[in-house]
Structure 1
Amino acid sequence: MGTLVGHVAPGFAFLILGLWHLFNHIKLHIKNPNSYISPTWFPTSKFKYLELYLIMLATTASISMELFIGPARHQPFDTDGTIPSYHLHNFEHALISMAFFAYAASSIILDKIENQAKLALTQFLASMAFFQQLLLFHLHSADHMGPEGQYHLLLQVLVFVSLSTTLLGIPMQKSFLVSFVRSLSIFFQGLWLMVMGYMLWTPSLIAKGCFMNSEEGHKVVRCSDEESLHRAVSLVNILFSWLVIVVAVFGVSLYLVLTKYYGANKVRYFSLGIEDEEREDVEKLSDDVESQKRNLVGKPKSFIHVGQKTLSSVDIER
């Protein structure tokens, strides 16, 4: 990270992963609303572990970029074998990628083992990766001050949501809402990383009163005075708040579109036994109604007739 590409590339990976999960969770819930169980990853029809292998490939590329391709001497160590201070963040970013690599690799192994706890264990490994991400972003060695610090602080909020919903998914495997929020938070992580990359490393998009400064081989955004700093931070908050609304509306809209598409193809099935019983009940109800009608029509005549007979008897006696 630390560059435009370093934020946009992993951000795009998170965005695609979140969108893939969001689509599949909605589709699975629409087709199986009563038997829905939230999976941690989704197999594809032609290649079952494609998602997990792509995660392993992406994290391997990230680790290579951070430790071997990105550094000037193509290795992160100093001449005496120690880690220089300006490469500490490279190791931190690499450890985040390693955690997601471990999750993907372990998920493949767990899937090949017949065990009832494998789904919960996979969820646990995913939560471990998000915890690693949250921890290292929170305790970051880089000087995240000013606008950059605010971007990373709000990113931690999104990572915390992903971590919380992944942990909740262990005891609440049948909750669609937990899976929906988790997928949307992963999507939002990717979007926010991409926005961060463009807003912090595109000179024309830097807030007024702030500038790009080169420090320890990295370019960071600094502001000329306190007023410019507060303005820049407030603009970051406004941008994030605006994206919260956009992402929420996008998620619900996608749900409605997929519900209309996949819900229209659902066929309603009835049990023949239940249907026959219902038909018999309807027929009985119809017979009762007809019987009541006949009684209502016949009773007044009978009453009058009886009344007439009674009156006739009295008159005779008189």
Structure 2
Amino acid sequence: MGTLVGHVAPGYAFLALGLWHLFSHIKLHAQQPSSYMSSPWFPTSKFRYLELFLIMLGSSISVAMELFIGPKKHQPLDTDGTIPSNHLHNFEHASISMTFFVYAAFAVLFDKIGPKAQYGLTQFLGALAFGQQLFLFHLHSADHKGIEGQYHLLLQIVIVVSLATTLMGIGLPRSFMVSFVRSASIVFEGVWFIVMGYALWTPSWIPKGCFLNLEEGHRVARCRSEEALHRAKSLVNIQFSWLLIGIMIFVMSFYLFLVKFYGDKVEYSTLTKEADLLDEDKDGLESQKSNKVGDKRSFMDIGRSFVPIDMER
């Protein structure tokens, strides 16, 4: 991170993951509304662990970029083996990626072994990954007092939602809303990373009165006055608000579309089966009633046939 690519690349990764989870949860709930059960990850038809392997691959690439490819010496340590101050943020970003790698690796392992606490442990590891992300972004070594700090402050709000809903999912595995909100927050996190990358490292997108300044080997957005900084932070807040509205509209429209596409078919087939069962039950009841009435009539007819004989006697 700390560059345009460093924010945009993980942003697209979070966006893809969030959209995949949003699609999968809505589809599962639309097809099985009464027996819905949340899942920390979703297998694909051709390759079961594709999602988890992509998380591990993306995390490995992120660690390599932060510690070995990005630094000029292709290693993050100083000549005496210590971590220099300008590479502290590289280790922080790499630690976040390592945590997501551990989550995905254990998710595969749990699925192969199949322990009884598989679902809860997988959710717990996912919560730890979001918790690690929140912890390191909140106590970031980089200077986040300017525009970049405002972007990261609002990012932490989204991460808190992801963390809270992941923890809630441990005790509420059948709650569709918990999974829905978590998926939407991951989508929002991905979009915010992408916007952050372009807004902070594209010169034409820097707010008026601010500029890009080269500091410790990477460019940082700085403002020339307190007034310009206040205006820039306000623009970031407005940007966040508009994106929130846009993502709200998108996820609700996405939900309605998928429910219409998947839910109607299941509902139609279910109603058809129920109607057939009701027809069969009605036919059965009518036949039973007719048999009972027939029995009564036959009994009465027999009784009537015996009445004259008794009278004659």
Counterparts of 1:1-318 in structure 2 under 5 Å? 1-266=1-266, 267-268=269-270, 269-270=273-274, 275-277=279-281
1:264 to partner: Cα distance:
2.6
Equivalents in 2 of 1:236, 1:282: separation in Å? 71
Equivalents in 1 of 2:211, 2:140: separation in Å? 22
Equivalents in 1 of 2:137, 2:105: separation in Å? 23
Name segments (4+ residues, structure 1) moved above 2 Å: 271-284
Larger Rg: 1
**Gap change, CA 1:194 and 1:273, over 3 Å in 2:** closer
Task: Indicate the percent of aligned positions where both proteins have the same amino acid.
Answer: 63
SS at match of 1:239: helix
Task: Give the CA RMSD over aligned residues.
Answer: 1.7
SS at match of 2:47: coil
TM superposition score normalised by structure 1: 0.86
1:280 to partner: Cα distance:
7.4
Equivalents in 2 of 1:57, 1:233: separation in Å? 35
Equivalents in 2 of 1:120, 1:260: separation in Å? 31
Alignment deviations for residues 166-185 of structure 1 (CA, whole Å, 9 cap, x no partner):
00000000000000000010
TM superposition score normalised by structure 2: 0.88
Equivalents in 1 of 2:92, 2:42: separation in Å? 28
Alignment deviations for residues 9-55 of structure 1 (CA, whole Å, 9 cap, x no partner):
00000000000000000000000001111000000011000000000
1:117 to partner: Cα distance:
1.1
Equivalents in 2 of 1:84, 1:107: separation in Å? 34
Where in structure 1 are there 5+ consecutive unaligned residues?
285-318
Alignment deviations for residues 94-114 of structure 1 (CA, whole Å, 9 cap, x no partner):
000000000000000000123
1:270 to partner: Cα distance:
1.8
1:140 to partner: Cα distance:
0.3
1:265 to partner: Cα distance:
1.8
SS at match of 1:122: helix
1:276 to partner: Cα distance:
4.4
**Which letter maps to 2:274?**
F
**Which letter maps to 2:240?**
F
SS at match of 1:83: coil
**Which letter maps to 2:90?**
N
**Which letter maps to 1:262?**
Y
1:127 to partner: Cα distance:
0.3
Equivalents in 2 of 1:24, 1:244: separation in Å? 22
Partner of 2:293: none
Alignment deviations for residues 183-218 of structure 1 (CA, whole Å, 9 cap, x no partner):
010011010000000000000000000011111111
**Gap change, CA 1:225 and 1:30, over 3 Å in 2:** same
Where in structure 2 are there 5+ consecutive unaligned residues?
289-313
SS at match of 2:51: helix
Equivalents in 1 of 2:134, 2:247: separation in Å? 21
Partner of 2:291: none
